[in-house]
Amino acid sequence: MPQGTERPLRVLLAKLGMDTHTVGITVIAHALREAGMEVIFTGLKQTPAMVATAAIQEDVDVVGVSSLSAGHTRSLPTLARLLREAGAGDKLLLVGGVIPEEDQPLLQEAGVDKIFTMGADTRDIITYLNEWRAAQQAGHS
Amino acid sequence: MKDKSSRAAMQSTRPAQQDDSIAVEAQRWQSDTRGPYVQAHPERRDEFVTQALQWSVNPLYTPADLEAVDFDYLQDLGFPGEYPYTRGTTPNGHRSDFWTMTQVTGFGKGLEWSKRARYMLDQGLSGLILEYDLATTNGYDSDDPLVEGEVGRAGMALDSLEDLEQAFDLPFDKLQYLMSVCNAPQPVNLAMIIAALEKKGVDPKDFVLHIVNGILIEYTCVGRYIYPPKDGLRLATDCIEYIIRHHPNWAPISIIAAQLQPAKANPVQEIAFSLTIACAYIDAVLERGLDIDTVAPYFHFVINVDMDFFEGICKLRAFRKCWARLMRERYGATRPEAMQIRMMTSPTTTALTLQQPLNNIGRLAIMATACALGGAGESMTTPLHDEAHSLPAEDAIRVGAALQHIVAHETGVAETIDPLAGSYYVETLTKQLETAAFAEMDTIFEMGGALKAIESGYFQRALGREQYERNRDIEQGKRKWVGVNHLQLEEEKRQIDIFRLDDSVEAEQVSKVQALRARRDQAAVDRALDEVRIAARNGDNMVPPCLQAVRAYATHGEICHAMRDVFGEHRTDSQLGGI
């Protein structure tokens, strides 16, 4: 596909469960938009099923979950499974926030593609997303 | 005669002459001394600004700067314990008593909370803060599918009176103060605490229960709301009214400016948003027939201090003065207590880093010192250095408690009252903050006050912008942050222990609440829940029907659902952060 007609990367940003810390996700939303991506925010208090449905309906490329309480060890594996079961396992699944190191292998095994912990640079996230996109396109062509 | 009049003339012109001569001398110093030096030694950066407000900081402050902001000692400062309270609300600073030293606790089941609370009291703390898990603060029982994975994690799980009966297995003789942090379902939590104290036989007059009850901040930036803003405001007002009328020694409301700050409100927004939010509650309580001199002393603020030492210190000083002026000028308060702001101060968690977490102990000590220098308020709470990693571990609790004692006993900052008063920089910045805060408050009052500012998303959008811009400053290195964008370590070894809550807590809590439902008098519960719905519809004070329901062992979630039936739910989530 020629560069000019390429559609912007579509990213769904989500907050799961009762975790309502929004500063990180707000910063990411602004930064991704400034980098030319389309950002959709689910709103608060979502279940994994609600996020999976939104990801499919909105036809996003990337699902980014922000987690600052401790519920991630359960909710993220569920979300990854629901996406796979709905045939949307090819969407990039990211998580950011307070994710202790010892939880990371569990999340990766469950299907989380990449973990950004607190303090991650938005420019690194953008670079990661752009590289992932480029690799996807190389793979498809 | 001649002598006398010429002396009088001299006296009357003297201050102006003095200031002029200082301004003239300052200019001379700039061109003769500083100018050539800076030419030879260029400055470290292009511009020097304060951390949050990004206000320009001069190389030097002199009496000429005080003149420029129209500083007047008697009007702007006065004396400690007297209007406008800039130098403190008490006449003797911390020479009579230190502030109450507290820390946040609360996770797991009631029994575990009790164990940790005892540990904290043994470390020399006299006050406790009880936080609830996110299921509780959002009004769901532990067995609700929506809260799976959250039970007992961010605080204590409170499903029924049974949980608090266990949590309150505490030495109440050591405990002077208990703060219960809950906003959206506040009448339910308040009712649970009242009922639990009754069961324990604790005289409510013997200690201070302090409920946070700050729902308007939740709509602004935190997000733990249930009902629409106007209903949230009504429930908060119910609790305030109930406490003032029935437990006048308790504290019915806190305005947590400390939640605006992590949402990146700058100090002007912190003062203006939190004071206009206070006015929204005050207006509502006054409509219930109470008067300002009775109501105002009940308002309490929790205010964070960030790493910019002077922004933090001046913010605390400006807060005191702005409150005093607002109560006198807007409401015509006359009692001194109505004009003396009550506050708890705290170092902010947002200054802490995940990287090199032990550095956070240094940061906490500096911020706690700033709190003390700004006039710590009645109490200070210190977050813990490992909070960015996970929920706090016991070692961190000990260090956090010690830290306040170090500031109090070892630094000497509490030995004299308001020790930084008269600093040309501190007084200039304090006055600038006050002026800017009043300008922002005028804007908010013009749009109809804080409730309208929330309903229109004004607060939320303003904070979203600040969040993005402050983060960008750090990423672009405009602000250096050790461990984050300065002096980073390549391979970081883990230096701290992490507290882990056993997953079995959730399972146990779920079976406990289900067992309770099976054995209680269901007909009594149903009747009590009907009463809750009727009172909600009729506009009655919600605390008494909640108390009845709690005594019948209706669960926390059931009572919240009964109110959902009447009020509905607030669902404009995407407003948060202006995303």
> Where does chain A show beta strands of DSSP type E?
10-15, 38-41, 62-67, 92-97, 114-117
Alpha-carbon Rg for chain A, nearest whole angstrom, is 14
Please count the residue pairs, one from chain A and one from chain B, whose beta carbons lie less than 8 angstroms apart.
113
Domains in chain A and their CATH numbers?
16-55+68-140 (3.40.50.280)
Question: Closest Cα of chain A to B440: distance in Å?
Answer: 22
Is the pLDDT confidence value at B14 over 50? Answer: no
The percent of residues above 90 in pLDDT, for chain B, comes to 66
The reply to whether B42 touches chain A by the CB within 8 Å rule is no
pLDDT in tens, B153-197: 778 999 999 999 998 888 887 777 888 988 999 999 999 999 999
Contact B579 A25 (CB under 8 A): yes
Cis peptide before A105 (omega within 30 of 0): no
Confidence of residue B106 (pLDDT cuts 50, 70, 90): very low
B8 half-sphere exposure, CB direction, 13 A CA radius: 5
The reply to whether A43 touches chain B by the CB within 8 Å rule is yes
Q: Which residue(s) pair with A65 in the sheet?
A: A14, A95
Q: Is the ipTM of this complex over 0.90?
A: no
| CA nearest neighbour of B371 among B307, B444, B453, B287 | B307
Instruction: Decide which of B74 and B391 is more confident.
Output: B74
What is the mean pLDDT of the segment spanning B121-131?
Answer: 76
DSSP letter (8 states) at residue B151? T
Question: Closest Cα of chain A to B63: distance in Å?
Answer: 40
Confidence of residue B570 (pLDDT cuts 50, 70, 90): confident
Contact A45 B154 (CB under 8 A): no
The reply to whether A98 touches chain B by the CB within 8 Å rule is yes
- All residues of chain B having their beta carbon less than 8 Å from the beta carbon of residue A70 are 149-150, 153-154, 390-391, 501
The reply to whether B536 touches chain A by the CB within 8 Å rule is no
Which two structure tokens, joined as six digits, stand for A76?
């993220």
The reply to whether A33 touches chain B by the CB within 8 Å rule is no
Rounded distance between C-alpha atoms, residue B550 and residue B538, angstroms: 20
B415 half-sphere exposure, CB direction, 13 A CA radius: 5
The reply to whether B528 touches chain A by the CB within 8 Å rule is no
Is the pLDDT confidence value at B10 over 50? Answer: no
Backbone φ and ψ of B101, nearest 5°: -100, 120
Contact B147 A27 (CB under 8 A): no
B148-162, B188-202, B370-384, B472-486: which is most confident = B188-202
Q: What's residue B495's pLDDT? A: 44
Contact A74 B149 (CB under 8 A): yes
